[in-house]
A = this chain, B = another copy of it.
Amino acid sequence: VLPVAVISKKRDGLELSEAEIRFMIDGLVDGSVPDYQISAWAMAVLLNGMSEVETACLTDAMLESGGRLARASDRPRVDKHSTGGLGDKVSLVLAPLLACCEVDVPMLSGRGLGITGGTLDKLEAYSGYRCDLTPLEIDRQLQRLGCVITGTTPDIAPADKKLYLLRDVTGTVPSIPLITASIMSKKLAATLDALVLDVKFGSGAFMQDLESARRLAGSLQATGERMGVDTRVILSDMNQPLGRMVGNACEANEAVQILQGQGPSDVRQLTLALGAELLVAIGRYQQTSLAVTALAEMIDNGAALRRYQLMIEMQGGEYKDQLPLAASSVLTSSSEGWLAGLDGQLLGQAVIELGGGRRKLGDRIDATVGLEMLVRIGDRIEHQQPLVKIFSASNATSRKAAYELLESAFSYSSEPVPPLPLIVSEGITAS
């Protein structure tokens, strides 16, 4: 096999064999196929696509480039992955909640980059929280607690790490097969029985429209099923932040409110829906509604919150019911009407301006800054009505830039606007 032959075959729209895909990925990892061939191939994949079989082969080759986590117990082993959006703190609630239901949740998460926050950054708002657990530490914590949220270990899918760095600078990120293989190779390395995917669409999501989100969801699910893991998908709205809080400590605090049986209903609803899919997938319940009830009980009896606190502490963090936030001010409306749209890109950029997100990998972030959304799409907005509370520790220039971004993020209609449904498509199972 010659790299140029594999590139040319994909360029010509043909299907690659498993051996050809493995050759490229192995060559990427051992350096025998240089970056300039990988990037040309990635562009051909982006523009000409991959079949389900090819995508599964790519995922498998990337998974096999590294190791897998060992099973820690004979409990079922499940995980959730979200394609990312503003205010998405579901992982913080869901991992301890599921652990209360006698399943193991080995959640390997990432950091925020661009407008999307990162679960690890939110947990690091607890002073001392460690995201660099070794496979052995992950194993021990799962045995004792049933849940862990930590960074991927260096041994997990090294091919994905190299390929992602290259895709990021060669315009080859927005490819459904490449995204699928990137997500699934890392998730499946955790040795799962079931996986639920929260695929988000809308102005604050990677996939801006429902149709693209559906295509990605189909690809993720088909790949999971081909690789022998019961894989479920929920499509959820990201045309406005999930919950009220956006920012790291802000979101950790809101997660605790949810675990206390309080907080905004959309976060609770989505968390329960995602968890219920997993409990049905492993056969714990036949009906989603029963699974939802069981999960809600673990919130309402305080078990999930206790498990969350234990997880924070076992990973070295200093738990607080509510973490301190930066000083706040309020942006009020200069128009009136029905709130018709919230530009998620602008909201996310405002958080970055405040110091709560990263422009590039390695940027430091300030956990105490963020936003509290005071209105939702469909609300009637009066002149001078408070729209968003801004927690800001940054200098005047950045704060001014953030305010300007926020002001332009809101759009109004003179006609009533219906509220947006949160979950568009629930419980998609294998075709």
Contacts and interface: CB of A to CB of B under 8 A. Distances in A.
Contacts of A7: 43, 170-171
A163 to B, nearest CB: 11
A48 to B, nearest CB: 7
Nearest to A13: B47
A314 interface: no
A382 interface: no
Interface string A1-25: 0011001100100000000000000
A182 to B, nearest CB: 17
A34 B170 CA distance: 10
B43 A40 contact: yes
Nearest to A2: B169
Interface string A161-193: 000001011111000000000000000000000
Contacts of A172: 11, 40
Nearest to A169: B4
A39 B11 CA distance: 13
A40 B35 CA distance: 10
A270 interface: no
* Chain A binding surface, main DSSP class: helix
B37 A169 contact: yes
A181 to B, nearest CB: 17
A16 to B, nearest CB: 13
Interface in A135-180: 166, 168-172
A7 B169 CA distance: 9
A171 to B, nearest CB: 4
Interface in A300-318: none
A380 to B, nearest CB: 38
Contact of A47 (B36, B39, B47): B47
Contacts of A35: 34-36
Nearest to A8: B171
Contact of A46 (B11, B34, B166, B170): B11
B170 A36 contact: yes
Interface in A240-282: none
Given A34-B36, A35-B36, 10 more contacts: A4-B168, A4-B169, A8-B171, A11-B43, A11-B47, A34-B35, A39-B40, A40-B42, A41-B43, A43-B47
